[in-house]
Structure 1
Amino acid sequence: MNAPRIAAPVTGVVGRFFTGVGLLLRGLGLYVRSPGLMLLGVVPALISGALFVAAFATLAYFVDALAALVTPFADDWSATWRSLARVVAGLALLGLGGLLSVVSFTAVTLVIGDPFYERISERVEERLGGTPGAVDVAFWPSLRRSIADSVRLVGLSILFGIPLFAAGFIPVVGQTVVPVIGAAVGGWLLAVELVGAPFYRRGMRLPDRRAQLKADRPVTLGFGVAVFVCFLIPLGAVLVMPAAVAGATLLARRSLGQSVTEG
């Protein structure tokens, strides 16, 4: 299904990036004004969050052993260089774990809380004038498509995460440039994942949302990176997840050239 693409505003790449950040803030405002939905939206995020916090804590606990496992070449080095190599390896492992955790958390939470987040997204659309081109989507087919798309996106995060993990061993670059690239990759994947509900509501699939979001990539990255950073903050993923769904609905409407102003 083809949809019109909104023209990118002439505000420069940086300005458009912060426009995307602003969509998350607007989503937070819309979400806060619906206390009932707030509570419903937090419940699935709490369940998923507990699982992923436990998983990441386990990774952090065993990170020294894992760092030694992936750096056998350093066994014969001096103690100083061996320790430095394993600290770098540990940081790279934690970075990879963080990227995979954030993307996987979003995928799992959207599946667990599908009815709740669908309602949040619908409520946002109602406030903005409804859903042009809406189609009836049965629950089970929608859930199956959502799971399939989420699995593909998690697979992509692994595909990107492995070379980023390897690049983490490069001195200085691995501790400065690589985390920025990781946030950009994670932000893009999060944005593509979070806009699923409003696109499904219009009968559009994963290739459609990718194509529409690419029309103004800086805005998409601004939104996605803002969500990614919030999700790295302790309890941030749990508290921000429903607002991210609301903001993603705004992002989807904007990418499709539809109103994002309450009338």
Structure 2
Amino acid sequence: MRYLGRGVRWVAGHGRWWGFGLLPALVALVLYAGLFTVLALYSGDLAAWATPFADGWGAPWQGLLRGLFVALLLAGGLTLSVLTFTAVTLLIGDPFYESLSERVEESEGGCPPGPGRPLWREIAVALRDLVHVLLRAAGFGVLLFLLGFLPVVGQTVVPVVGFGVSGFFLAVELTTVAMQRRDVPVRERLRLLRGRRWLAVGFGTPLVLLFLIPFAAVVLMPGAVAGATLLVRELLPVEPAAGPTAVAGDGSDGRAAVPAAR
């Protein structure tokens, strides 16, 4: 959690960056608010369509089953919104968040030069990585959705595990900017963060909870990107002796070396 605090303090001390960082998040917030409203309005119809076997059930069983389905559907939609909100906001504000992340690294003692791809290529890579991460997150989401129907466990343990899983994948999304600068493939990013699982969960889960507060995601987004950049510097530190633009590597090609998971 200290990385989130450090990130928020950094953007608070650089108010111009915080102000510009709110704009992409506001655009994404309006988009997601509209989509979630539509989901909520039609959730009852979706529940009836998904449970035709309960059409002949009497009260209160039909209402309980479909009410549970609606609750799980909205919870799943909210979780998916939290996960994808970050990725969509990063895509919308890619040039700004890239510059913000670079400034954070420079203020900490050096910034890797980056792979040197054009902007359209960076966006294409980000979209590809987004799909890869979301497919993995969706697999966990489906499993947790089904486990949510279990009595007691589905209403106690499963939501807690769900927040932890969401926090991990949110950390994956937020570290994308700094990881892409080091040209680390998405599968390697996942491996790195799995190796420091509690670091990733401890960073992402508080943000998941905070993002549930209206407008908190908009306000915290710049600080979250700054904090994620600082987190990446622990996983893939810049080598001070090599100068401000070199990254820790094998000394031959300047690319970031991936340390063994601790």
Do the structures match in fold with TM over 0.5?
yes
1:160-179 correspondence to structure 2 within 5 Å: 160-179=140-159
Distance in 2, matches of 1:31 and 1:254, equals 19
Indicate the SS of the match to 1:129: coil
More moved, 107-116 vs 76-85: 76-85
Q: Does 1:112 align with 2:92?
A: yes
When residues 235 and 97 of structure 1 are mapped into structure 2, their CA distance, relative to the original with a 3 A threshold, is same
2:45 alignment counterpart: 65
Map of 1:88-167 to 2, 5 A cutoff? Answer: 88-132=68-112, 134-167=114-147
Per-residue CA shift, 1:212-231, capped at 9, x if unaligned?
A: 22222101111111121121
2:204 is matched with: 224
Give the gaps of 5 or more residues in structure 2.
240-262
Partner of 1:23: 3
Which position in structure 1 is the counterpart of 2:249?
none
Q: More relative contact order in 1 or in 2 (CA 8 Å, sep 6+)? A: 1
2: CA distance between counterparts of 1:76 and 1:173?
28
SS at match of 1:79: coil
TM-score (norm. length: structure 2): 0.85
**What is the RMSD computed on CA atoms of the aligned residues?**
1.7
Partner deviation per Cα, 1:145-192 (whole Å, 9 max, x = no partner): 111101222222222222222222222222222211221121111111
1:215 aligns with 2:195: yes
Aligned mates of 2:236, 2:161 — CA distance in 1: 27
Residue 50 of structure 2 corresponds to residue 87 of structure 1: no
TM-score by length of 1: 0.85
1:74-94 CA-to-partner distances (Å, cap 9, x unmatched) read: 222221121111121111101
CA contact (8 A) 1:88 1:168 kept: no
**Contact 1:215/1:255 (8 A) holds in 2:** no
* 1:46 Cα offset (Å): 0.4
Are 1:230 and 1:236, in contact at CA under 8 Å, matched by a contact in 2? yes
CA displacement at 1:134 relative to structure 2: 4.6
